[in-house]
């Protein structure tokens, strides 16, 4: 009997991307009964848990063993293992809480939920202030946008905190990640744009912060964002200068008291998402650095 053909790398990448950016977050936001608790809701959190198990082999955080973005550098065997574990989480065969605890322990962090029967309940209902997933606090605003409806799943309770429209794991970002990973762009441009999809709505990062994460320099990061073919799903408007200035956008660069039409549009986009500026036009608030 002839064995079935091995799936191609593009197919494995597409299957994995859909699983961790859409299927698992939708199940989490609907509090699907396949897991007694859903300690994480964001796609990059599911990726962190599964990557640490597959790439890090539950011995080390995955970035110590593989260059980011993982989806572009994993072997077919690793991709298949990620898919298998993700499907196991979706079906309940793999306990998500325990997998999350192992991943957090690798990073020297404490777990966010009790693991034993004393935890009780189903994870539904109102959460106490301060008990929210630390990764969610760092990576999203409190705005709620139900995700489950699009997947034909029941909507989460109104008290649950859902994912804001353009934060990691939202519709546009999910589609863009699959397109970026399968595009003909250079590997470095793919890494830059994939990292950019993680920046949540209502937050901003800088060219320098992205360069630190990517092991590059700010100018190279800025150049890689020029002629962004996936805008606005890949939100290059959320990247500002290290000094708090507006930075560049659409081939224009802001500063020195003059702003062109494209820079004004960038500032308007950021303001519409909740980013604030002072009287000098400098951004207010901390730089977002939650890249994984």
Q: Which is catalytic among the residues 45, 82, 167, 236? A: 236
Instruction: Read off the tokens for 38.
Output: 């859903």
Q: Measure Cα distances from 164 to 133, 140, 198, 215, 242 in Å.
A: 15, 7, 12, 28, 25
Alpha-carbon gap, residue 210 to 150, rounded angstroms: 32
**Distance between start and end Cα atoms, the chain:** 43
Task: Please state whether the peptide bond connecting residue 142 to the residue before it is cis, i.e. omega within 30 degrees of 0.
Answer: no
Task: With residue 120 as reference, give the H or E element that holds it.
Answer: none
Question: Using the 8-state DSSP alphabet, how is residue 132 labeled?
Answer: S
Determine the angle formed by the axes of helices 187-196 and 207-214, rounding to 10 degrees. 120
The CA distance from 116 to 70, in Å, is 32
β-pair type (248-249, 239-240): unpaired
**Are the CB atoms for 66 and 72 separated by under 8 Å?**
no
Six token digits for residue 256: 């020195």
Q: Pairing mode, if any, of strands 283-284 and 276-277?
A: antiparallel
Report residue 153 as tokens.
């799943």
Q: Which residues sit opposite 115 in a β-bridge? A: none
Catalytic residue flag (residue 236): yes
Q: What are the residue numbers of the active site?
A: 236
């Amino acid at each position: 009997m002839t064995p079935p053909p091995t799936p191609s790398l593009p197919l494995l990448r597409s299957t994995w991307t859909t699983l961790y950016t859409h299927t698992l977050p939708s199940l989490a936001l609907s509090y699907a009964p396949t897991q007694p608790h859903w300690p994480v809701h964001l796609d990059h959190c599911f990726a962190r848990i599964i990557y640490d198990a597959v790439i890090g082999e539950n011995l080390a955080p995955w970035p110590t063993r593989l260059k980011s973005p993982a989806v572009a550098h994993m072997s077919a065997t690793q991709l298949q293992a990620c898919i298998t574990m993700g499907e196991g989480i979706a079906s309940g065969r793999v306990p998500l809480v325990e997998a999350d605890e192992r991943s957090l322990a690798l990073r020297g962090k404490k777990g966010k939920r009790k693991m034993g029967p004393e935890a009780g309940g189903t994870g539904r209902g109102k959460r106490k202030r301060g008990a929210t997933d630390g990764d969610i606090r760092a990576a999203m605003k409190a705005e709620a946008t139900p995700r489950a409806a699009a997947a034909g799943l029941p909507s989460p309770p109104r008290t649950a905190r859902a994912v804001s429209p353009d934060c990691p794991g939202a519709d546009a970002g999910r589609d863009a990640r699959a397109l970026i990973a399968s595009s003909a762009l250079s590997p470095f441009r793919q890494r830059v744009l994939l990292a950019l999809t993680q920046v949540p709505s209502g937050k901003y990062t800088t060219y320098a912060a992205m360069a630190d994460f990517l092991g590059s320099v700010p100018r190279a990061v800025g150049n890689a964002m020029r002629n962004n073919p996936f805008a606005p799903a890949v939100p290059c408007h959320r990247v500002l200068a290290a000094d708090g200035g507006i930075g560049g956008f659409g081939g224009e660069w802001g500063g020195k008291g003059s702003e062109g039409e494209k820079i004004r549009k960038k500032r308007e986009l950021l303001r519409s998402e909740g980013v604030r500026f002072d009287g000098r036009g400098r951004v207010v608030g901390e730089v977002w650095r939650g890249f994984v």
